[in-house]
Amino acid sequence: MSIISDSLKRIKPSPTIAVTQKARELRAAGKDVIGLGAGEPDFDTPENIKNAAIKAIKRGDTKYTAVDGTPELKKAIIKKFKRENKLNYSLDQITVGTGGKQVLYNAFMATLNKGDEVIIPAPFWVSYPDMVLLAGGKPKIVKCTEKEGFKLTPKKLKKAISKKTKWIILNSPSNPTGAGYSKKEVNDLAKILIENKKIFILSDDIYEHVRYDNFNFFTAAQISKLKDRTLTMNGVSKSYAMTGWRIGYAAGPKEIIKAIRKIQSQSTSNPSSISQAAAVEALNGKQGFIKTRAKAFKDRRNFVVKSLNSIKGISCLTPNGAFYVFPSCKGLLNKKTKIKTDTEFVQTLLERANVAVVQGSAFGLNGYFRISYATSMKNLKKAMDRIKSFCENLNI
């Protein structure tokens, strides 16, 4: 009999973390590897946020807090939703966790029974299906093609719904594609969800503040007929370059929020008191950082998209947000290149060109790969040169 539980056997380690780890190991072994696998901003946390944390330590904010977040942070989150999304919530509709990841995990643990289905549009963030499996649910993967802009269509949504559907996950702008759903697109999906009154909507808005070209952010809870069934998850990791601080939050139905708190009270308790104080400053303090940073990301996005599209065999859509592109490598998977799959493509790229990216199949769509451009322009230039000469050599 194995010491490891059956539920753990259902899942696999995060492939994006595995790629980052592999790149780290190769670098430690003396190889000049450029890592384009990690999903975190390379910018430092703004000074005012760091100072708020230092002040919190000096003030003695070093004890347990309420399990689901301090009243100060919850109030800052309520203000954020009002200011940025025109959404009103009360304190008992907000929960704070150790990163958005914990909030999502707790939400599934709190709500899924064996066999409950969760509709997950692919390409998806790697953790969704495994979290659902761990909680005993069943991921219902719906593939969204490049032609569809990697976005779920009302037709496909309708087809995916069954009596067992409990949740649908919407993530805009998306990891791994950067695709964002317009107000019209969210409304079109909402028409179907309004008819299906038992389905809950999990809106992962973590990339809300990383968007370009005046893309208008719109979230499911803004549709009044869906608000009571929507759990909106967000956090400070990507918006304020605070990945290591581990603060994420959600707003939604009181019953779910209370259930999440119950799980948290028996697992991790409150997120770090210092990080919570820092998050209060992030949400209430000056917001200029968001714009400056988005401009830098936009320059990088433009450069990366243009470079990739100049390579024979590679094609790449221009995303609305996040810091990822999801190019196709299908043009290079053939007998001539002797590369059959996207996984082989990224492995060969790492071995021969020392560039680490993640295969599309890890995100539920074969024939693609994900590049994170949350790294310096210098690194990106070097990486694009290497990818180009690698691909050109394959074509010979």
Q: Kindly list the residues in this chain that would bind ligand PLP in the complex (CB under 6 A).
A: 39, 99-101, 125, 171, 175, 204, 206, 235, 237, 243, 248
- Closer by beta carbon to ligand PLP, 174 or else 307: 174
Nearest CB to ligand PLP, comparing residues 281 and 307: 281
Shortest Cβ distance from residue 166 to ligand PLP (Å)? 19
DSSP H/E element including 250: strand 248-251
User: Is the CB of 206 or the CB of 311 nearer to ligand PLP?
Assistant: 206
167, two tokens: 């949740």
Q: Are 278 and 49 in contact (CB under 8 A)?
A: yes
Nearer to ligand PLP, 237 or 264 (CB): 237
- End-to-end CA gap in the chain: 53
Q: Which single residue is written with the structure tokens 């990339």?
A: 207
Which residue's Cβ lies closest to ligand PLP? 99
Nearer to ligand PLP, 39 or 360 (CB): 39
* Smallest distance from ligand PLP to CB 307, Å: 23
User: CB 243 → ligand PLP: shortest distance, Å?
Assistant: 5
Min CB(121)–ligand PLP separation in Å:
12
- At its nearest, how many Å lie between ligand PLP and the CB of residue 99? 3
From CA 70, how far away is CA 95, in angstroms rounded?
A: 10
Structure tokens, 110: 């709190």
Query: Which residue, 95 or 175, is less far from ligand PLP as judged by CB?
Result: 175
Contacts 24+ apart (CB under 8 A), 17-26: 19/346, 19/356, 19/357, 19/358, 20/356, 22/350, 22/356, 23/350, 23/356, 26/350, 26/354, 26/356
Q: How far is the CB of 385 from ligand PLP (least distance, A)?
A: 27
Determine if the peptide bond prior to 41 is cis (ω within 30°). Answer: no
Start-end of H helices in 236-341: 254-265, 273-284, 288-309
The per-residue DSSP string of 20-46 comes to HHHHHHHHHTT---EE----S-SSPPP
Please, what is the minimum distance in Å from the beta carbon of residue 228 to ligand PLP?
23
DSSP H or E run through 183: helix 183-195
Q: Whose Cβ is closer to ligand PLP: residue 151's or residue 332's? A: 151
